[in-house]
Amino acid sequence: MIALSIWSTAFGNGDAIPVMYTADGEDISPPLDWELSGQAETFALICEDPDAPMGTWVHWVIYNIPGDVRHLGTGVPSSEVLPDGSLQGVNSWGDIGYGGPAPPSGKHRYFFILYALKEPVDLPSGASAAELREAMEGLIVQEAQTMGEYGRD
């Protein structure tokens, strides 16, 4: 069986996300690293908050990350196409790229879900999380997640 794991050097699984990665700080994406015991043609990542009052809020959609990549650095640019060919979709604000945690109140959980895929998804840049999930059907080799929390009083 192929194993996949994902983590951030900025926060541990289940720990608080530092303010710099939130709407209250610099609002830049946190660094993410992963390991795969096997091969994938591409990776996709969705970051979402299931605790949002209006339903799950999508913070980041990025896909067709090359299969040899094992790291997303701090502050991935908010462009539709990245230099390595990765594509970014729209978040729940309707923007391309990462939008950091901005809970209206209380503490929320933010899941960074990584998918290892056997082939690239056939989507243009700007896809939604729902469109990505539909396009990934039958292509997922493995998935993994890490979660950070952020709250406001």
The CATH number linked to 55 is: 3.90.280.10
pTM (2 d.p.): 0.97
Query: By residue range, what is the domain housing residue 31?
Result: 4-152
Phi then psi dihedrals of residue 143, to 5 deg? -140, 155
In the prediction, which pLDDT does 48 show? 98
Q: What is the pLDDT of residues 54-87, one digit of tens each?
A: 999 999 999 999 999 999 999 999 999 999 999 9
Q: Please, which residues bridge with residue 7 across strands?
A: 33
* % of the chain at pLDDT higher than 70: 99
H or E stretch including 147? strand 140-152
Burial degree of 2 (CB within 10 A; 0-12, 13-18, 19+): exposed
**Is residue 28 within 8 Å of residue 75, measured between CB atoms?**
yes
In the prediction, which pLDDT does 2 show? 77
Tell me the two tokens of residue 134: 């539909």
Count of structural domains within the chain: 1
Band of the pLDDT at 1, cuts 50, 70, 90? low
